[in-house]
Structure 1
Amino acid sequence: MTSTLVSFLAQDSPNPLGGPIPMMVIMVVMFYFLLIRPQQKQRKELQARIDSLKVGDRVITTAGIHALVHNLKEKTVTLKVAEGTMIEFDKHAIASVHKKESKSTAPAEKA
């Protein structure tokens, strides 16, 4: 029985990739291109939008609060939630930014 087990383990497997090491390398590369890289790109885009915040932009915080940017500081932003209600948030708490439409990009009204 031991000789049968040894001969079974000694046989070369017909793995076209050559073994477990190349398979692990392929898995790491797949994870990078399918998960890590898109997430890094998304983070960079959000950071660029946060860096270009201006007074009057509409934002949504990570807590789900919809507000207008009222004042900007180096690390914080003051948001106008309702008339007379201002809340100061850390800039990292902003989940999405909707830029204020300029007059040239606003859709024309129908008569």
Structure 2
Amino acid sequence: MEGLGGLLLPLLFLVVLYLLLIRPQQKRQKEHQKKVADLQVGDDVVTIGGLHGRITALTDDTMDLLVTDDVILRYQRSALARVVNDDTADT
């Protein structure tokens, strides 16, 4: 019976670790993958580097961003930080 008590504490620690660290990270990763999959031409986005631009073209792995007039940069889709809507734009 004493051996079961010694196993209970590490098991409890693993459950808490899963609930506090692993599960939320998996949820954030799924949300990011959904955002990347839902991108459309014309969306205003911000990259993880802080670059603001409008999507002009999409492929399976890349997105072309119009930064200023006649300046188009190609980024990996995974570099997306967020999609900026007119409703949620920062002032």
TM-score class, shorter: 0.7 to 0.9
Please tell me whether the aligned partners of residues 62 and 95 of structure 1 are also in contact (alpha carbons under 8 angstroms): yes
Please tell me whether the aligned partners of residues 79 and 89 of structure 1 are also in contact (alpha carbons under 8 angstroms): yes
Higher relative contact order (CA 8 A, sep 6+): 2
Instruction: Count the aligned residue pairs.
Output: 85
Alignment of 1:45-60 (within 5 A): 45-60=31-46
Is residue 2:75 matched to residue 1:89?
A: yes
Normalising by structure 2, report the TM-score: 0.82
Listed as ranges, the gaps of 5+ residues in structure 1 are 1-16, 102-111
Q: Following TM superposition, by how much is the alpha carbon of 1:90 offset from its aligned partner in structure 2, in angstroms?
A: 0.8
Alignment of 1:1-111 (within 5 A): 18-19=5-6, 21-99=7-85
Please tell me whether the aligned partners of residues 77 and 91 of structure 1 are also in contact (alpha carbons under 8 angstroms): yes
Q: Following TM superposition, by how much is the alpha carbon of 1:93 offset from its aligned partner in structure 2, in angstroms?
A: 1.0
Listed as ranges, the gaps of 5+ residues in structure 2 are none
Higher strand proportion: 2
C-alpha RMSD over aligned residues:
1.9
